[in-house]
Amino acid sequence: MLMFKTQSEMETKEIAIKLAEMLHPGDVITLDGDLGAGKTTFTKGLAEGLEIKRTVNSPTYTIIKEYEGRIPLYHMDVYRLEGSEEDIGFDEYFEGEGVTVVEWSLFIESYLPVNRLMISIEKVDEQQRSITINPKGDRYEQISKELKE
């Protein structure tokens, strides 16, 4: 487990950019945090690190948005799948050619791969955030280690 304290939106984004540089196709990240904690900011950082040119915005309505970059990014918000057993082809994303970021992942717990990078962002005050990175599996342990340096 790895923890960062960031003092600004910019710092939160920088961690995401650094993380993006280590990502490979097929990587899965779960991203949790309250409204306004900075999940979108973090995802924008990942997108920047993956050299995605388009604006990354909320996927809440369509559940999934796909972006082209150095590696494609699949951005999911599965909030609306609460209490539903619907499998919208998750495996095709998790095992696909891109990096998948899942917000509100608890609602699709049974579909998530065992190995994944679990990130949670907590709001300490208006500016300060506490970012916890919890790796599951060797590959993500390695990423976590590199991120620490």
Partner 1 sequence: MKKTNEIILAIETSCDETAVAVIQGGNKILSNVVATQMEIHQKFGGVVPEVASRHHMEQITLVMEQALEEAKVTMEQIDAVAVTKGPGLVGALLVGVNAAKAIAFAHQKPLIAVHHIAGHIYANRFQAEFDFPLLSLVVSGGHSELIVMDEHGSYDIIGETRDDAAGEAYDKVAKALKLPYPGGPQIDRLAQQGEDTYNFPRAWLQDSYDFSFSGLKTAVINQLHKLRQKDQTIDQENIAASFQSSVMEVLVEKTYQAATAYEVKQLIVAGGVSANKELRERMEEKFKDSSIQVMIPPLYLCTDNAAMIGAAASIQYHQEDFADLSLNANPGFML
Query: In terms of CB distance, is 19 or 78 closer to partner 1?
Result: 78
* Interaction of residue 84 with partner 1, rule CB under 8 A: yes
Contact with partner 1 (CB under 8 A): which of 2, 17, 88, 147?
88
Beta strands in the chain (DSSP E): 2-6, 28-32, 64-67, 73-77, 99-103, 116-123, 129-136
* Interaction of residue 81 with partner 1, rule CB under 8 A: yes
* Interaction of residue 114 with partner 1, rule CB under 8 A: no
* Interaction of residue 142 with partner 1, rule CB under 8 A: no
SS3 75: strand
Give the chain's radius of gyration (CA, Å).
14
Beta bridge partners, 28, equal 100
Specify the stretch interacting with partner 1 by CB under 8 A; choose among 5-13, 16-24, 53-61, 97-105: 53-61
13 and 145 Cβ atoms separated by less than 8 Å: no
Contact with partner 1 (CB under 8 A): which of 83, 109, 110, 149?
83
* Assigned token pair, 98: 């891109």
Query: In terms of CB distance, is 25 or 89 closer to partner 1?
Result: 89
